[in-house]
Amino acid sequence: MTAETAPRPIPQPGILDIAPYVGGESKVAGANRVVKLSSNENPHGPSPRAQAAFAAAAGDLAVYPDGGHAALRRAIAEVHGLDPARIFCGNGSDELLALLCQAYAGPGDEVVHSAHGFALYAINALAVGATPVAAAERELTTDVDAILAACTERTRIVFVANPNNPTGTWIDRDALARLAEGIPPRALLVIDGAYAEYVRDARYEPGAELVERYPNIVMTRTFSKIHGLAALRLGWMVAPDHVVDALNRFRPPFNVNAPALAAGEAAIRDRDWVERCAVLNEVWRDWLAKRLAAAGAPCLPSEGNFLLAEFGEGRAEKADAFLKARGIIARRTASYGLPGHLRITVGDEAACRAVADAVDAFAASA
């Protein structure tokens, strides 16, 4: 008997069906300077107040963090007008999505998500032995009717990113309310608001209103995007009491580190910084979308801090290589079923101009 044929531990059902999540690239061989636009990071970084709070926390690294996240939950509640008892914090919103799947889905259950939704929805479903179900989109936008049609008696979770990643598209408060009203009562609707702060349209509702009205809805948010704290891994959600109670029973006891808690509290209170980043993103997102369209790479209307640019199947791969040769890293979206597109983070002015000039040059070379 060889090592290959000997009995060995077998992972739970679904684990080996997972294609591992791959983050945005950050390096280009031979490039002296890289413009990383593959991970939707905030090019302006975190609030100076958050940086100061992070530095101050360095003196207490030998002490365990507050396992109940009390100060951060109070700060979030004050800023957003929420009940701190219904706020739950995690190691990035990624951990929140995983914990929700662990608590509410398993073998024989189904987890519904939009066809081009965030990759972790399907990954987390498979990790607990549940079956991911992709609902068709309409013009690369969440289709409420398709999601409701995909729901069955086996549906336990419905994931909706609003705005969606990687498309940047969104649905308004009326459509979201119709979805909340229509899903099975035993299913949990998870509204992923990772990019909520970037939306400037008055018809938008991030989800907190619905959490107040329904016992089966939660809204998740992150500090990784507009707050510029991606390195610290910090997220939060607002949920019904019974959901918070369930997750608190098995989450890791110190799942958020002390520097992240301190930086997050300062970041959430610095509303001027959030507004500054949102305005700059809107200005350069719209500018870049026009330049890309003029160069033959039209973009979907986006309310995130990124654009989904259409180059065409086969041509997108060439465009990606062309940009990398100039030290610009975008995100291929073939794994999302969008092989003819590139997702491009909205950087600062210099980065946006560099992308526009490079795409112009690519168009001219074709």
Instruction: Compute φ and ψ for 220, nearest 5 degrees.
Output: -105, 150
Compute and round to an integer the Cα radius of gyration of the chain: 21
Task: Provide the pLDDT for residue 25.
Answer: 67
Average pLDDT over residues 41-53: 98
pLDDT tens-digit profile of 70-99?
999 999 999 999 999 999 999 999 999 999
**Strands 155-161 vs 131-135: parallel, antiparallel or unpaired:** unpaired
Task: Provide the pLDDT for residue 24.
Answer: 67
Q: How far apart are CA 126 and CA 157, in angstroms?
A: 13
CB-CB contact of 168 with 301 (8 Å): yes
298 φψ region: left (φ > 0), alpha (ψ -120 to 50), beta (else): beta
Q: How far apart are CA 245 and CA 118, in angstroms?
A: 26
Average pLDDT over residues 286-310: 98
CB-CB contact of 142 with 160 (8 Å): yes
pLDDT tens-digit profile of 229-268?
999 999 999 999 999 999 999 999 999 999 999 999 999 9
Chain-wide mean pLDDT for the chain?
95
Task: Provide the pLDDT for residue 91.
Answer: 97
Domains of the chain: 24-45+272-365 (3.90.1150.10), 48-269 (3.40.640.10)
In percent, the amount of the chain with pLDDT more than 90 equals 90
- pLDDT grade, residue 189 (50/70/90)? very high
**Strands 155-161 vs 110-114: parallel, antiparallel or unpaired:** parallel
**Lateral strand order in the sheet of 341-345:** 306-310, 341-345, 331-332
Is the four-CA dihedral 266, 268, 272, 273 of positive or negative sign? positive
Q: How far apart are CA 103 and CA 133, in angstroms?
A: 18
Q: What is the DSSP string of 163-210?
A: S-TTT-----HHHHHHHHHHS-TTSEEEEE-TTGGG---TT---SHHH
